[in-house]
Amino acid sequence: MPPLASGSARCADFSGCSGIDGDCCPTPDGILLGCCLHDTASPSEPTASEHPRALRILRWGVAVSTLFSASATLEVDNAASLIERLPFRLVRTYSGAASSWVEQILASEQVEQLIVGTSTDQARLMSSSQAHADRLLVDILRQVGNNVSRVIAIAVGNEPNEAASAVSPPTMLRAIRNLQVAIRNSQVAAHVMVTTPLTGGVVQDSYPPEAARLDAPWVEVLRAVDFVMVNWFPYFAARGNLALLPAALGEDPSLPWRYPPDVDRRAVWNAAHANASFGVQQAASMLDMMLHATKFALAKAGIEPGAGRVVVGETGWPTSGWDRLATTNNSRTYYENLLSGRMLSRCHDDVAVVLFELMDEALKPGPADERFWGQLDGSLSPKWELGLSYRRVRHTAQHQSAALAALSLASVHSRWVTGWAKRLRACSGNASSQARKGADTGVRRAPASVVALTGSSSSKA
């Protein structure tokens, strides 16, 4: 695309763009700040072609899970100060202890957007009657008080497609629809979106990515939500197969992978490409490949995968634990490559990502690496300095720019695992080997589909 005439391009939140329509604006260290848009509309005035809700979602966020944190018990009244030790302006909470933090979290002016979590039991109650959904919304509104404008979504349950926290698709669908009715009837919460966080098992046959499909029982649930949220953890794929480590960290020397190798295509994802004849141009990491497969699967089901429809609800890498891959160096590498933009292709600029989690949880049961996912250590100090760029999502016909994040992938044929491991190019969308966090307990377990990728049934319990 030829350069625009001087002054004809504008950039979201950044004026130092290269002047190429649809191009992103990198800082000297490669962080994408915004994108040039070839139109004259105000950034605060979405055009008809844009997804109206996705405009409210920031690119990077952090999840706050406190049930097993000894420190959290002492710091509940200082939640705002904990958040402010990190640069995140998007926060996700869970049910249980974390829900009591909502008011304190919103005391921080840094927090611009909040995704409020609900429990498995609350999901079942909401499915049973409209009155329960109405009451839950009233309870949330009472918690947030005058800060309701900063609540962008309510997450119904957590990983209902995982055995440990299972809720049937029909039950989830009723709960989601009842909550959406309650929101529509509200005078102050009409802007609030509804989603449900799923494990990567919802995306099946994920390699090649254009062959991916949704797990059929969950299709109607994914049609009903305002955006798709899936939790992905490349760490668990690498833990089960060491050959996947470079891909999981975004450090494979052969990056970016191109497939098929003789096809040269732009790295722009389009629903029209969701067929077996389309070769995705490249993948920058395992997480990137997961997102390729996710969007293909959604498009095949007739669900728009762009315009902020996909969110990574959780991703991360532990700094310590019994596994040799759980190290500070690997964790820092993962976050640096992710947050700098090196881990994701431009065609996923419409995906926002929530990091798991705010703080280490020393009391969490199970393997030792369960306890060390935090951005804050046991003394509540940041483990490293994070450099982030923030921009609100904008979408035009020419370009889809940043929004939310995630899904992990499901079973993969053993021949695929073997072949890609040999070439150290397992850019699998199969990180269904990711562990899961229970909706009420905060305990993480690997989905059954992990076995297909890693050849083992190792899990986080």
Tens-digit pLDDT profile for residues 18-37? 333 333 444 343 333 333 33
Alpha helices in 55-168 (DSSP H): 70-75, 79-83, 102-105, 120-128, 130-144
Q: Are 314 and 354 in contact (CB under 8 A)?
A: yes
Strand partners, 166: none
Range(s) for CATH 3.20.20.80 in the chain?
50-454
DSSP β-bridge partners for residue 282? 258
CA–CA separation, 87 and 112 (whole Å): 12
DSSP state of 40: -
pTM of the complete model beyond 0.75: no
Least confident of 49-53, 70-74, 314-318, 355-359: 49-53
Q: What share of the chain is helix, strand, coil (3-state, %, to 5)?
A: 35, 15, 50
Contact residues for 304 (Cβ-Cβ < 8 A; gap 6+): 271, 298
Kindly give, in sequence order, each residue whose CB lies less than 8 Å from that of residue 431, ignoring residues fewer than 6 positions away.
Answer: 200, 232, 233, 234, 236, 237, 248, 286, 287, 290, 408, 409, 453
Confidence of residue 72 (pLDDT cuts 50, 70, 90): low
Q: What is the DSSP letter of 392?
A: B
- The two structure tokens encoding residue 123: 């999901």
Q: What is the pLDDT of residue 71?
A: 64
376-396: average pLDDT: 63
What distance lies between CA 280 and its chain's CA centroid?
21
Neighbours of 81 (CB within 10 A): 13
Give how far Cα 415 sits from Cα of 259, 276, 418, 419, 421, Å: 17, 19, 5, 6, 10
Residue 199 φ/ψ, nearest 5 degrees: -80, 170
Helical ranges in 311-393 per DSSP H: 328-339
Average the pLDDT over 40-54 and give the result.
34
Rounded alpha-carbon distances, angstroms, from residue 101 to 97, 118, 231, 271, 304: 7, 13, 22, 39, 34
C-alpha 287/C-alpha 430 separation (Å) is: 9
Give the model confidence (pLDDT) of 251-266 as tens digits.
Answer: 987 777 654 433 334 4
> What are the structure tokens assigned to 29, written together?
């260290």
Question: φ, ψ for residue 49 (rounded to 5)?
Answer: -80, -5
> How many of the other CB atoms lie within 10 Å of CB of 329?
9
- pLDDT band, residue 161 (cuts 50/70/90): very high
CA torsion angle 233 239 244 247 (round to 10): 40
Q: Which of 211-225, 310-324, 344-358 has the lowest mean pLDDT?
A: 344-358
Contact 286, 244 (CB under 8 A): yes
- Mean pLDDT score of the chain, rounded to an integer? 71
Name, of 34-38, 50-54, 175-179, 299-303, the range with top average pLDDT.
175-179
Any idea which architecture 50-454 has in CATH?
Answer: Alpha-Beta Barrel (3.20)
Higher pLDDT, 55 or 127: 127
pLDDT in tens, 129-147: 999 999 999 999 999 999 9
Sign of CA dihedral 365, 375, 448, 156: positive
Residue 252 sits at the vertex; the CA angle it makes with 449 and 358, to the nearest 5 degrees, is 65
**Across the chain, how many H-helices and E-strands are there?**
13, 18
SS3 assignment, position 90: strand
- CA 325/CA 329 separation, integer angstroms: 9
pLDDT of residue 422: 28
Tens digit of each residue's pLDDT (9 = 90 or more) over 417-451: 223 232 222 223 333 333 333 333 343 433 333 22
Q: With contact defined as beta carbons under 8 Å apart, do 459 and 367 qualify?
A: no
Please give the sequence-ordered ranges of beta strands (E in DSSP) within 196-266, or none if there are none.
197-199, 203-204, 213-214, 228-231, 257-258
DSSP conformation class of 128: H
Distance CA 164, CA 439 (A): 9
